[in-house]
Structure 1
Amino acid sequence: MTRLRPAPPEAVAAALAGLTGLGTFFTLAVGEADGVWRPVTEAYAEGLPHLVAGRVAPYGTAEHRVAASVVQLGHAARLWSPVLGCVLVYGVVPDLGDLWQQAHGPALRLPAARGWYAPEGEDLVQTVYRLVMDEHLAVLAAGLRVKIAPGLLRGNAGSALAGAAHVLLRARPDLRGPLTQLAERLLDTAALRGTGEFTGPDLAFRRRSCCLYYRVPGGERCGDCSLERKLR
């Protein structure tokens, strides 16, 4: 893989700031923030217990695996969204190696803005995949304290990727070509391969697994759930 060229910190900071209007999942703060924060790697090692425990009571379920699945899905969306946005809108890849998380919530921040200019072709696919899947979601999966099928967690990662791409497409339809190409190539890479497929030009997605949210009392199947219908 081609060596990445460092991007100026101000360019990375501007890119992250420019995405905040796209919603919560695209918001990745930089610098100091109120409240208590800790390195996300510490939270991964414990399986994000503060978020999992916080979901159990409101959901009214004794199945911790359901809460853990939904938490992992949401966290994946908070990773994919700013990365895809920075890459496709601003041409930079944010360095998430120093990522911090709220001690009592899901928000993320970076102490300082660092990153690289986005490479092209397969180098870009591999860079984005490594950044999100290898350096974060694989580490979180290893730290989860409840047993969840690896295929379900991979499916969550694919679903979160597709969801981020769908939101970005609605905001920036001019990026349809490169966005669709990158998302499709990511979904055909390593652990994401076979997690699902896009089913329409608006990047609607159908996954091949279920996040288990339907098991929450009163919960429904998600729009991309494999239980809704079989993949054609």
Structure 2
Amino acid sequence: MKEKWTIRQIKEYLLNEKPSEEVMRSFYQDERKGVQTLLKQHENKQVKEQQEKDQFVMMSKFEQSLWQNKYRYIAGVDEVGRGPLAGPVVAAAVILPEDFQLLGINDSKKLSKKQRELFYQYITKHAIDYKIGIVEADEIDRINILQASKHAMSQAIEQLNQVDYALIDAVMLENLSIPQEAIIKGDQKSISIAAASIIAKVTRDQLMDDLHNEYPAYAFNRNSGYGTKDHLHALDQFGMTPIHRRSFLKSR
């Protein structure tokens, strides 16, 4: 190793190379504060990466067990949009390949908007298949939100080209023709369900952005139809739109 690397050189090396033990020893012997700060950042990054690897392995257990039992097309299924006052409930069904890896994947609610969008691009590119189910507000009013959520999930599954098992977040689906398992908090325990939660969330947010252009007073681009202060104020001022869930607003 050359003598006295600059701090910039050390930073670039730690970012872009796999450090050797000899080089790392020389860094730890360097008493410059800037070097020690870089080493601490590097250690924190390594710890985070290992945690994400461990989490991914833990979240792959359902899929690994099913793959070992010769199920190939395993659909992770989740929905978003149960709680909002406006807009549809959206479900996704996602089938991942056995070599899929996306460190940091998790329940969409635990990810930032930027992370969700980046993960959405990766999942849609690498998934074997994925499909969306949508149930609009008027149907939610007619059959109730639980049945609407199940209906959206069933829609998504039925559109898949091939599927032989379903891992579903929290609920069992009646009349499903394939084996299924309901997993409580499945979007935190299964990579397939987590992938579905991300696809569903990003899809619904995009739909609500489009609806914002049609109904700008309600700020759907910011609240996604949830009952925020601004949304409730707009309801008081302008009333309900065709995309509002009347059954959710009867008490207002």
TM-score by length of 2: 0.25
TM-score by length of 1: 0.27
